[in-house]
Amino acid sequence: MTFRKQVLKLHPAKLVLISFLFAIVVGTVILKIPFSTKTGWISWIDAAFTVTSAICVTGLSVVDIGTCFTIPGQLVILAFIQIGGLGVMTISVIMFHWIGKSVSFRQRMVMQDLYAHTPRKDIFKLVKTIFLVTFAVEALGAIFLFIHFHHEFSFMKAVYIAVFHSVSAFCNAGFTLFPDNMMRYSNDILLNVTVCGLIVIGGIGFSVLYDLQCRLQFRKQKRCRLSIQTKTVLVTTLILIVSGALIFAFLERHAPSTEQSLSYRILTSVFQSITCRTAGFNTVDIGSLKEATLAIMIFLMFIGASPGSCGGGIKTTTLALITVFFMSRLRGKRRVNLFKKSVTAETVARSISLLLVSIGIVGLVLFFLLAGDPASGLEVAGRKASFLSYLFETVSAFGTVGLSMGVTPELSTWGKCWIMITMIVGRVGVLTFSYILVGSAATSGIEYSEENIMIG
């Protein structure tokens, strides 16, 4: 059996994981080439960490991207951010179509699992739409960012910085070329609104964008109705953004930033509410925030983006399903209903399993970091690297967010490896990993006589 046939026989979940791992290996080798860094050298673990963070669109970094890497090195990182945002398999499907090769059934299954909530015959049309929407939105975002940056930099540099940050924002990567992230632009309305818009569009999921595009295109004929998936994502996203901003503003009402203008406080609150779920940009010093604020940000990072998007986390739909499930049980109802539609019991059970497994993964990685990392308990960025700091870092990696309290650069090789694994799990998806480990075939198992036990 040829290597190609062996690959094509793999489960779609394994194909996704292998494609990401292969991209990480290739990217690590490229960043190790002297032209990628200004000093001509970077350690293997730092190169691998940077590429993993880029391909997993996380944004956590052990080095300063703007000062460590040359322009070619930064372009390599940008390319892997774009590949990670779209998905390696998505790009391979488009490339196969362009060169006239047929797309295998396994690859179609991967696309189905990644971007469609229900079976579709037009899966390639969906992938094509994803590409067109991605580059159109990124181009529009780059134009607005250029309007901001061209007052500060030369024409070509402004174009480069605008394109880099537009792609990074849409792909929810959070990589920036500035050492203080976006803190220097915390009061700029154009930049804040543009970045927030790119993050939200990139984080709601390509299937949602496809549904919205169909709805706008055929609104007069009423041929395309918004799915329950799209409605759930839009409503949950709006609730999380508004509630997150209000809670942030309330908890930080006595911070030094309250001396700033009202527009500044609104911008920073909304920006942090949006970015801490998926992107990793920040306009305030994360290390200076209250612990209660950090706890809320950890919750939002754990939720993450929406299914089929560039972000990680347990996803907005999982939060919505679990919330409605508990509300239904409290009212004595067995069925979970959303927008006058009943969700299958299997989907609800998978949501609960996803939540529990995700909590277990975060807890396990956090334990390994605390147990094996020598930086634990040391002074990092002027404050002690506490339990909260490591929890913040772990959830940030799992949700592919990229926000940091300053622990990441101080991690040992052991700690960096665990964060890399967490980023891969967060980007590929917990359910995908469960398929790889235990398989997707469900069995009823042995049934015995029933007996009750006390709970609660």
Q: Which residue range is the domain that position 15 belongs to? A: 3-436
**Where residue 65 falls among pLDDT bands split at 50, 70, 90?**
very high
- The answer to whether residues 298 and 397 touch, using CB atoms and an 8 Å cutoff, is no
Q: What is the pLDDT of residue 395?
A: 94
Residue 114 has pLDDT above 70, yes or no: no
pLDDT in tens, 353-377: 889 999 999 999 999 988 876 555 5
Which of 295-299, 351-355, 381-385, 398-402 is least confident? 381-385
Residue 443 has pLDDT above 60, yes or no: no
Residue 383 has pLDDT above 80, yes or no: no
The answer to whether residue 447 sits within a structural domain is no
CA neighbor of 394 nearest in space, from 379, 382, 381, 371:
371
Q: What is the pLDDT of residue 269?
A: 92
Q: What is the pLDDT of residue 127?
A: 75
Over the chain, what is the mean pLDDT?
Answer: 82
Q: What is the pLDDT of residue 175?
A: 92
Which of 61-65, 101-105, 134-138 is least confident? 101-105
Residue 113 has pLDDT above 60, yes or no: no
The answer to whether residue 131 sits within a structural domain is yes
For residues 100 and 48, which has the higher predicted lDDT (pLDDT)? 48
Q: What is the pLDDT of residue 382?
A: 47
Residue 143 has pLDDT above 70, yes or no: yes
For residues 100 and 66, which has the higher predicted lDDT (pLDDT)? 66
- The answer to whether residues 402 and 396 touch, using CB atoms and an 8 Å cutoff, is yes
Helices (H), 381-440: 387-398, 413-428, 430-438
Residue 345 has pLDDT above 70, yes or no: yes
The answer to whether residue 455 sits within a structural domain is no
Task: Report d(CA 104, CA 119) in Å as an integer.
Answer: 16
**What element of type H or E holds 78?**
helix 71-86
pLDDT in tens, 236-294: 999 999 999 999 999 988 776 555 677 788 899 999 999 988 888 988 888 888 899 99
* Residues contacting residue 346 through CB under 8 Å, at least 6 positions apart: none
Find the mean pLDDT for residues 409-435: 84
The answer to whether residue 451 sits within a structural domain is no
Residue 12 has pLDDT above 80, yes or no: no
Residue 190 has pLDDT above 90, yes or no: yes
The answer to whether residue 444 sits within a structural domain is no
For residues 438 and 307, which has the higher predicted lDDT (pLDDT)? 307
Q: What is the pLDDT of residue 359?
A: 94
The answer to whether residue 262 sits within a structural domain is yes
Find the mean pLDDT for residues 46-58: 93
Find the mean pLDDT for residues 193-208: 90
The answer to whether residue 183 sits within a structural domain is yes
**Where residue 428 falls among pLDDT bands split at 50, 70, 90?**
confident
**Where residue 235 falls among pLDDT bands split at 50, 70, 90?**
very high
The answer to whether residue 230 sits within a structural domain is yes
- The answer to whether residues 280 and 253 touch, using CB atoms and an 8 Å cutoff, is no
CB-CB neighbours of 376 under 10 Å = 21
- The answer to whether residues 65 and 177 touch, using CB atoms and an 8 Å cutoff, is yes
Task: Report d(CA 350, CA 62) in Å as an integer.
Answer: 35
Q: How many distinct structural domains can be found in the chain?
A: 1
